[in-house]
Amino acid sequence: MIVRIMGEGQVEIGADDIDVLNALDSELEAAIESGDENEFRAKLHALLDKVRHVGRALPDDSLEPSELILPPADASIEEVREMLGDTGLIPG
């Protein structure tokens, strides 16, 4: 799966990592629902850090279509809430 972190570029994520990312996504959703800014910030950074860690960075000149777009690390709760779908940021 090709994932874009807004403002950073694209990474390729293996199918084996989706379950871990979904768990982090669920924690992020719970933090958004609680309205706790500190918890939200921690969970967003944890998700993005994990994507960066498990993903293989694609070259900057790569033109692969992104299957998933994640918010930047400095996104607000409202910005991320608007990006959430029925299955969170990460489907599956």
Residue range 15-64, pLDDT digits in tens: 999 999 999 999 999 999 999 999 999 999 999 999 999 999 999 888 88
Cα separation, 48 vs 21, whole angstroms: 9
Cα separation, 12 vs 43, whole angstroms: 21
Residue 71 counted as domain residue: yes
The reported pLDDT for the residue numbered 4 is 94
Can you tell me the mean pLDDT for 62-89? Answer: 89
Name the domain count of the chain. Answer: 1
Range of 14's domain? 2-83
- By three-state DSSP, how is residue 25 classified? helix
Q: Which residues contact 56 (CB under 8 A, 6 or more apart)?
A: 11, 12
The reported pLDDT for the residue numbered 90 is 81
Q: Helix 18-34 vs helix 37-54: angle between axes, to the nearest 10 degrees?
A: 170
The reported pLDDT for the residue numbered 92 is 65
Residue 91 counted as domain residue: no
